[in-house]
Amino acid sequence: MSPATPLPTIARPATTGATTGATSAATTYVIALGSNRRGRHGSPEREIAAALEALGDVVARSPTAASAPLGPSNRRYANAVALIETPEDPAALLVRLKSIEHAFGRRPGRRWGSRVLDLDIVLWSGGAWSSPGLTVPHAAFRTRSFVLAPLAGLVPTWRDPLTGRTIRQLAQSVDRKRPRD
């Protein structure tokens, strides 16, 4: 694949919209899930499991793993990565993800604060996307081992549409030991 080649679409029969009659093909998304605060479903690990159910259309998922917090939060995170299929474009999916976060108790607040649920679109099979409030691929995914390591276990040969590097290569570069100054 060339650097600009989008992720492969998983073949699935086209669906017909009930109200519009429009036909749409499903595309594949990588969704990163994180939680570091108990919610109505219980522990952060249970919040992740419940969020996977709420997402629907999950075709693959990583195990849930613990990771250190980013920013000022003191609580460790439970993280997972899921592949989902949906006919939604990235903007429509973002609206749905924000609705799920809200239903789980996430409220606007500190950017790096603790949260019941965090859902991020990391990649999609359509390549790159940019609109107000959303950039795909996720701007920071290339530096986050808690996303890349589980993702490399699911789809190691998928490529970042901007750099052309495989998920395996990105995961290895993030985990590489750096010399100290």
Distance in angstroms (rounded) separating the CA atoms of residues 91 and 39: 26
Q: What is the pTM of this model?
A: 0.80
Task: With cut-offs at 50, 70 and 90, classify the pLDDT of residue 58.
Answer: very high
| Burial class of residue 4 in the structure, from the number of CB atoms within 10 Å of its CB (0-12 exposed, 13-18 middle, 19+ buried) | exposed
Residue 57's CB is within 10 A of a number of other CB atoms, namely: 15
On the question of pLDDT at 128 being above 80, the answer is: yes
Residue 137 buriedness (CB in 10 A; 0-12 / 13-18 / 19+) = buried
- For residue range 6-53, what is the model confidence (pLDDT) as tens digits? 444 333 333 333 333 333 688 999 999 999 888 899 999 999 999 999
| All structural domains of the chain | 26-139 (3.30.70.560)
| Torsion of the alpha carbons at 123, 6, 161 and 85, rounded to the nearest 10 | 0
